[in-house]
Structure 1
Amino acid sequence: MAIAGKAPASSRISINAENTPVAQIFSLLASAKDLNIVVDPGIEQSLTLHLVDVEWQDALTIIQELTNVEVSHHANILVVREKASQDVDNDQAGFPFSSGQAEWEQKVFSLQFIEAAKLEKQLTALPFIRSGGKGRRFVDHDRQQLIVWDDAETLRKIEQWIALHDRPQPQIEITAQMISISQDNLRELGVSWFNEPSNIEPGKLARHEFTTSLGVAAPTLQVKTAITRIDSRLLFLELSALEQENQLEIIASPHLVTSQGRTASIKQGTEIPYQTVSGKNENPVINFKEAVLGMEVTPERVGQESIRLRLRLNQDVPGKVLQGDGKGPPSIEKQEITTEVVVANGTTLALGGVFQQQHQQGIAAVPWLGKIPLLGILFRKQARQHQKRELVIFITPRLLPMGNIP
């Protein structure tokens, strides 16, 4: 007796079996696909067959027909049982076939765009599913398949519902410019903030400015937004020109593409190392804490030409070390913004409200004269500069043509 299989997970297989127990043959088939297997202990048949380089599914079908067994596939588990025992204790076993339900059929739905697990949850809420009684559904996460056992009418309705919902999701391109700029230079870009929110009428998105409070009793941080139609290419050129004049700093220019309802994110910063001790011997251990500027955006198409953006912006900067010896974890000063806004396709959104304080101190002196003892004080002076800069993010979402999605 010899049984030979190709590499695991291969779609083709070779089997050379001489009077071999059927349970062993099915075990080989499961192994070739990296599947777990459960075999009914009542299956005691033996089989002789020689198969060379055949499709795995064809081999499974042939063996199933020859041995008069029932094979079902639940996620990554292959279940093999005698047909005669299908009507016994199946309700207790949790499998879909039970007495009085011989009219049930099995159908495998291969999904292309929607996640199988997400679809299964949506099906649970449908009226014709809730009233269907004891139908069974299994999700095969690896193959993006939904396996359903139910009556023919329910299967037909499920197929129609899947055809309506398993479609390409809108793809959304998100271009962002993250800058640090003084308030005076920000006004030169045509962005101005308001302290009170304006009334925004649905559908009128050409030009609005508003402020979103954090909703606390004494807010120390506000989300400030301005929505305007600015050509993103012209905006980039203007920002680049101001950067060359040292009037702003471009921190990052992420360019992202994501599906509707999927979160896209970017983080930029550093990991701060700090030392702790571990174990009885107090061995030193190096740990890290993130101090980053991060942005998360979740886009969702609204109507034909509008996009809802769920935005989260955080800036974490290193604070003081908590322990006196300087070896403990540093504190992290956090600023975070969470907001939601609807903008027209291609419209640029400016998001602000996170501030950076810059302090500079030095001595300005006349060369040589400033170093003269006693008299030099007349030729030098203390120079202090305090600048308040604002972190501003320009975000431009665009709907990609559906024709670009396979």
Structure 2
Amino acid sequence: MKRLIMGLIVVFFVLAVLLPGGNASDLAVLEGLTFDKPAGKERVNILISKPASFTVEERNGNVVRVRLEGASVPDKLKRPHGEEGGFANIINIIADGKGDGRQNWVAVDISLKERVPFVVKQSSRSILVDFDLTTLAVKKPSAPVSKPLVSSRKLLLGQAPVEAKSAQAAKPVVVDMTDGDKPKYAGQRISIDFQDANIRSVFRLLSEVSGKNIVSAEDIKGSVTITLKNVPWDQALDTILSLNSLTKKESGNVISIITQDKLKKETADRKAIEDEQRKTELARKEEEQKQLVEKGRLRQVSIEAKIIETTDSFIRQLGVQWAAGGTGVGGSNSYPYGVAGGTNPSLLNSLVTTPPTGVGLTSEALAVNFLPMASTLTAPTLGIVLGSSKAILDVQIAASETNSETRIISSPKITTMDNVKAIIKQGEDVPYVTPASSTSPATVSFKEAVLKLEVKPRLTPDGKISMEIKASNDYADYARAASLQNNPPINKSEIESTVVVRDGDTIVIGGIMKTTDTEATTGVPWFHKIPVLGWLFKTEDITKKKTQLLIFVTPKIINASDTAFAEPSALVEG
């Protein structure tokens, strides 16, 4: 008898365990409630963890009840919802769990001001209840609205019950954004309140509000506790992602949520793949070129350049020079005045055999000596000598004006293969002497002063020519060598560029213009500043020099039929 009783107890225990209502893991869980106000409607969205059967009934007191079978509700959701949503007809929504231990169900009671038609729709994990407001009588508000609604959508999920003021420190952080904050966000404004909510459920809520498809990877887990008021939904999403070290990728209407570490790994992997593809493509092109070279089918490019240097100079020199001379002993010779001209003027009177010191262009006894045209001995001069047997006065007026133009045209030409660098240069090696010291003898080194053209052409698929060009023109300035221990400095002109040009067209790849203006005045202090008369006591030099460098390049593709007749124009290096 005792064995029979024990057996019955075991059977009843097993049956109790196997009953559907007894296994909590089989129950659908109410995860949250969302509210929306489409045109002419008010909507309640009931979110559950998995699909569940339900029934809808209208109860007394304008209450619509949605009964979820085989479901449970967390204690934190057992409270009124939607009272601050600014709804026209919905008063509140209250969720409560029911059951006798063998069968559990959840009642979601929606209280209305007036009965209106409604439609219920179900998706996989949500139940939508739409109330039609078009049947309501239009009523004017009894008092003006004191403030606008915070949002046309309000999301409430897992909000904790209101506690006493002493517990305010335990509230979640509140973030309140206004219209002027961060204008880059343009999504629908919402207010949300999450406490220990599943982050994947939060993403699902934002997906419904935004109309975007938000997907997350399997490793996205955790809970969210945050309150946001009157913020765009996309800003709310970014805030939640930032708090949980997550990031997003957008493609069309789909937003993918991944961890920042995974994004870094994907970025690094993508870069590695791109580098590998680049190396593979480069190796493939090199192999193709190698095969074309072996077959003699690699296309060639002829590049002709013109390097033009122009120098325009203008020099003007004006001056007056005075001289005086005399003799203490009068002789039989006379010293009449005369006119002298040329670069070395002398007295025209042939009777003067021994002119006094200082007459003409001599400088030993000049009253004022400006030495006009000292650097240009061919400057035209005009002198007048006035005097007697005892004294003589010499005045020399000199004026010079020079215009010069110099054109230097260099035309290097070079032929090379597609994507192969070529170099051509012409010039001299300039010796530089390092003076001997007490510990080492004098040494000689050489520096290049050459005209150089370096080019690497590449044929584009559309038949154009891309060129990497480096042109330089260096020359020794021997005029300045004397001041530098006879070592001339190297004047350099260089340009480097990458251009694309059609076959046979000419392009200017660069130009340098240098202008030098010099004005110098030498004169007797104070006297040379006298208006008009000051020219009798000063000289003036004006020099203007303009130097210009232009580089023209003309590439031409050499056809295979012309290759046999193409003459080599330079030694190709590269």
**TM-score band (shorter)?**
0.3 to 0.5
* Larger Rg, first or second structure (1 or 2): 2
TM-score normalized with structure 2 length:
0.26
Where relative contact order (Cα < 8 A, 6+ residues apart) is larger, the structure is 1
TM-score normalized with structure 1 length:
0.35
